[in-house]
Structure 1
């Protein structure tokens, strides 16, 4: 990307029966967004025109059939399919799920080949996307395989960042997944991302216990004493500022999280319930560790309000801005790594 060019933001449209198309339209109805980036929506002009009419949007689309046709200052729509699409707002439909996957696969390919700079994914339905060809629990696992890198679900705002040791894993299986190697890999991913993507030179990381009260010395499980605790001590001895395991029940309510640059939770709900309680609507799901940059809003398809014109685009816009910031930070970090004598620019 040339320095004077705007960052190209690819958008996978998600579940067409959900709120993805609506929040995409609302985000770019503010023409000032085009001062920051050049969007490319992976769908079709025909289906996006349907949504434009339904939601009475003022957007004018620039349809393209080749990614070399992207135009700055326009909301570009890459014609990912020519099929007619039957939209039924709020309905879980396997056919619609396949359009979501076609959008994601095409956008991921464009990201991998540098036709777009970053990817923002609108919400999908994890059930209706499944098929013989697509057997991933969600965006994160698919993108890790296609793009490369050790991925980690990292929920972020300016003041709160929560990573996960395990993400889409049944609660009963969590202890079996948390091994010393997994802990080291995930902490390394969080640490590296904080430095490279968020420009935090000496990250301070808290890790939440697997069991209630960190096991109470083995009374409520011994995984924290035998696996998590010793591994954190090993990581800390290597020079990283990593602390824990902390009892999760009071960690957020007491405000302890404010003393750290990031918090790593042992499993999905342990981290995401407090994150969404504190930051819902402003939070962003960032896939840390990928070779490329991907973000998404912190909510799902919201079938219950789809088509009603009342969806809040705030988190989706934050996902766009976060992707832009991380792209700039990562570019500058890589430049500094090549030329360490160059003066570091101010933090974005």
Structure 2
């Protein structure tokens, strides 16, 4: 870069000496910058204390849409601009990718990350054999030709926070691209305590790890994530839980409907599968558990269909439910990747019908 700058300067000086009356003028490229506002998009965030569930609006300028053409080969192909991440999170003091900081230095939650990329670059991201374009679209905000973007971030507390972390809004090159000029930070005053917009903690009425190794396989082997929403949560032990929507269990009979969505996805979303809205149909103490699952290996919640997943032994369960109910997977589980994860023994299930 220094050599190129020197050549450019020498060329400009020679041009001025030969033809001073028509000497060219140079215009410096705008420097990347961000402004952070409250949910109304106009009030600067300043020192306002924020809580889980609050929203911030981030407006950027000076971000080159054609930059960041190298990085991870997935999900953006080499040579295609990788865009820029806009993230709320708790970042370690040494957080910049260009300075060699590891990914663990940047603690975020998925709802608090957006991905600015030009429309033309997004159009060059492949959709087969894996639909990487869908992966990006879930977090995509347009990076306009003039280098501006507007992103809305929903705040939540990441699971693992690095030592000495500082809360704030950060920007940095997308998908492994290093660009010091885009590594920016705006401090944010954040409290993990509930606030007026913090969603109520769902009740944990049906608790199930799926298999003893399900969570470990997704988060460890495939470097992915398992997360819950809309009535579902995933605890630190990797157990999914769903909130009871309606239904009762009397004399070993009844229909229990639960609400919530759990999504398990690998790194780069090569596979993304949802497990949503369980229903337990119980007769004579024997239950059939069905769930709405993804119709393909990587379409997540885009399209779901109900599938009978397992038989559950609820004999002896009373009105309060049952702990450690034996579960056995049924044949015909779909999509294929979920069926593959169901080849071993099922984890036991806890049914808690009262607080």
User: Same fold judged by TM-score > 0.5?
Assistant: no
Structure with more of its chain in strand, by fraction:
2
Structure with more of its chain in helix, by fraction:
1
Give the shorter-chain TM-score range: under 0.3
State the structure with bigger RCO (CA 8 A, min sep 6), 1 or 2: 1
